[in-house]
């Protein structure tokens, strides 16, 4: 029995279900980051725990978010800003539950599903999650290819093909340890945030309009076009594979496995993810606000493509650096998402199937499944096809979301699995309410589509 399964802090009955040959999530970096022991030292402990939340936050500001936020801001102004806010609040709650599951049980969400469900259900959940990862990877492929075209003039088809070699970047980064990988991710996030901070300063959006946009409007659910973009924003923000990823990467921290240690770890991990997702909210809100101010406010309600936004920013804002910063931030977002998407794919495959593939092979398979449809669409329909495919990929992500959220909320609310750390009171109510909202919105969208 592996050490993490025989941990005395694991709730009774869970360890018995773990197969002898199973290794912990991301075995190469499992409990590799030391956390200071003993009372006090809060800030040092928080510093040790800082990192996983930012890896998760990357998925909340990938190129798919850009496509939905630009389309929503240009077409509907600031109205969908409330959807960005609510999506991020949902994400904060769900990611905290994901971290709680990993810390308390020593299992990631995929492993928990493997233990809780029969073979058919496991296979179905794994297939849906893989589809979500491919949809996310598709957005990263298209976003990176668009950035390469905008910055260096590389044709889209060639840019899509070039994304196949980014597996080398991931392999190179992992050689230097998980902490270095986290540092690289945070550095790129800072680049993205600074770029959009500068863009907003140039756009000078209306503060009153931003405030009004943060208040939900009934038109969001009564207008099919607006609902489609809203669902895309939800799918681009609360990503299903991020729930699997977070429950695994919190286990890279070597904390005390007693009850007090777990309680402290949950607090620190929640602070880490909440701060990181607040940064993600700023970036997503900035993209939508920029589109609303620069395009919707000037009558350009038809701007739905990243390429159009890039070319229009300089003439509308009157600053030559505006477009360049936009392209740099897009390239950084694409590369960041590539790294975390690979880790999520590894966690899902190992957790559901107990199947371990070399990282380069796992990445090559996933990227190939994303590149093929991207090349076909770009070659046939060009830039407009790429934009539509980006938004569609985010809607697909949203439709997959309940199949990750329901098991997560169920597991973290189960005292038999979580012991004294099971969700109670307002947390459980909020979690199931979020689940109902996600399922309800997806169901409403399906009735409009079909």
Measuring CA to CA, which residue among 299, 276, 291 is closest to residue 189?
276
Query: Would you tell me how many other CB atoms lie within 10 Å of the CB of residue 393?
Result: 29
* Ordered alpha helix ranges (H), 295-320: 306-317
Q: Which of 55, 368, 18, 1 lies closest to 182 in space, CA to CA?
A: 55
Q: What is the pLDDT of residues 16-33, one digit of tens each?
A: 444 445 678 778 888 888
What are the chain's domains?
15-449 (1.20.1740.10)
Residue 203 has pLDDT above 70, yes or no: yes
Of 199-213, 390-404, 428-442, the one with minimum mean pLDDT is 390-404
The Cα-based distances of 447 to 403, 440, 450 in angstroms read 19, 11, 5
HSE (CB half, 13 Å, CA atoms) of 280?
36
- Nearest residue to 59 via CA among 344, 433, 438: 344
Contacts of 202 (CB under 8 A, 6+ apart): 317, 318, 319, 322
Where is pLDDT greater, at 312 or 3?
Answer: 312
Please, what is the average pLDDT of the chain?
Answer: 81
Per cent of the chain over pLDDT 70 is 82
* Amino acid 15: pLDDT: 42
Phi-psi region at 414: left, alpha or beta (left = phi > 0; alpha = psi -120 to 50): beta
The pLDDT score that the predictor gives to residue 267 is 96
- What mean pLDDT is predicted for residues 363-391? 67
The maximal CA–CA distance of the chain, rounded, in angstroms, is 65
What 3-state class would DSSP assign to 33? strand
Contact 222/445 with Cβ under 8 angstroms? no
> Does residue 328 surpass a pLDDT of 70?
yes
Q: Is 238 helix (H, G, I), strand (E, B) or coil?
A: coil
* Higher-confidence position of 101 and 287: 101
pLDDT at 116: 93
pLDDT in tens, 92-119: 999 999 999 999 999 999 999 999 999 9
The pTM for the full model equals 0.84
What is the spatial distance between Cα 150 and Cα 93, in angstroms, rounded to a whole number?
36
Of 33-37, 100-104, 122-126, 307-311, which has the strongest mean pLDDT?
100-104
Whether 14 has a pLDDT exceeding 50, the answer reads no
**Rounded average pLDDT over 372-385:** 67
pLDDT at 180 over 60: yes
């Amino acid at each position: 029995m592996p050490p993490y399964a025989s941990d005395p802090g694991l709730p009774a009955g869970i360890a018995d279900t773990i197969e002898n040959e199973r290794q912990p999530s991301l075995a190469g970096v499992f409990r590799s980051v030391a956390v200071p022991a003993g009372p006090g030292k809060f800030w040092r402990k928080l510093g040790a725990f800082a990192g996983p939340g930012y890896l998760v936050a990357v998925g909340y500001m990938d190129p798919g978010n850009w496509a939905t936020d630009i389309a929503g801001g240009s077409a509907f102004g600031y109205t969908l800003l409330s959807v960005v806010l609510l999506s991020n609040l949902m994400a904060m709650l769900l990611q905290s539950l994901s971290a709680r599951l990993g810390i308390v049980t020593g299992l990631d969400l995929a492993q928990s599903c493997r233990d809780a469900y029969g073979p058919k259900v496991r296979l179905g959940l794994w297939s849906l999650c893989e589809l979500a990862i491919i949809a996310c990877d598709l957005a990263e492929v298209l976003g990176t290819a668009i950035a390469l075209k905008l910055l260096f003039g590389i044709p889209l088809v060639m840019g899509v093909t070039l994304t196949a070699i980014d597996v080398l970047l991931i392999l190179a980064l992992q050689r230097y340890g998980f902490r270095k990988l986290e540092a690289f991710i945070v550095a790129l996030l800072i680049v993205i945030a600074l770029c959009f901070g500068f863009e907003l300063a140039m756009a000078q959006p209306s503060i009153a309009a931003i405030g009004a946009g943060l208040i939900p409007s009934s038109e969001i659910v009564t207008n099919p076009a607006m609902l489609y973009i809203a669902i895309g924003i939800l799918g681009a923000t609360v990503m299903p594979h991020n729930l699997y990823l977070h429950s695994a990467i919190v286990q890279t921290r070597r904390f005390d496995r007693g009850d007090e240690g777990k309680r402290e770890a949950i607090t620190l991990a929640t602070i880490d993810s909440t701060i990181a997702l607040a940064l993600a909210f700023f970036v997503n809100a900035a993209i939508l606000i920029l589109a609303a101010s620069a395009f919707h406010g000037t009558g350009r309600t038809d701007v739905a493509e990243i390429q159009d936004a890039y070319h229009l920013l300089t003439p509308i804002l009157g600053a030559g650096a505006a477009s360049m910063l936009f392209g740099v931030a897009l390239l950084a977002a694409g590369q960041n998402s590539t790294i975390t998407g690979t880790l999520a794919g590894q966690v899902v495959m190992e957790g559901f199937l107990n199947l371990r593939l070399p990282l380069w092979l796992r990445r090559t398979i996933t990227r190939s499944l994303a590149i093929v449809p991207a090349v076909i669409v770009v070659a046939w329909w060009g830039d407009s096809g790429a934009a539509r495919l980006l938004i569609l990929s985010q809607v697909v992500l949203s439709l997959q979301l309940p199949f990750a959220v329901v098991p997560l909320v169920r597991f973290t609310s189960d005292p038999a699995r979580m012991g004294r750390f099971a969700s109670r009171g307002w947390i459980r109510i909020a979690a199931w309410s979020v689940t109902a909202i996600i399922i309800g919105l997806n169901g409403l969208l399906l009735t409009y589509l079909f």
